[in-house]
Amino acid sequence: MTYIVNIRPRRQITIPQEVLNQLLVSQGDKLSLEVVNKKIIVKPVKEQAIDSLKAIQKAFQKTKISEAELQESGEKIRKNLADKLYGAKD
């Protein structure tokens, strides 16, 4: 279904409740707006986060790095950084 909305003086629009229901968002949630070929694409930000997580998971599948290896590497990096910044603590 297509909805017509007015742009008010302060560049505000009211999104119909039916649209919010379809997007599974409510007052206080955030939306991402993207302009593609003079069309606005609106996505809930939580959907973007899920899309980003899927992209990260795909990248890790290609590298064949396990989650355990990633966590171990991150721990080593944090420890080295802490040692450089604050001195090694034994």
pLDDT in tens, 39-49: 999 998 887 77
Hey, what domains does the chain have and what are their CATH numbers? Answer: 1-63 (2.10.260)
Q: Are 23 and 36 in contact (CB under 8 A)?
A: no
The better pLDDT of the pair 42, 57 is held by 42
What is the tens place of the pLDDT at every residue in 65-82?
888 888 899 999 999 999
pTM score, two decimals?
0.50
What pLDDT was estimated at residue 63?
A: 86
Q: Are 16 and 3 in contact (CB under 8 A)?
A: yes
Helix (H) or strand (E) holding 87: none
What pLDDT was estimated at residue 60?
A: 81
What pLDDT was estimated at residue 89?
A: 62
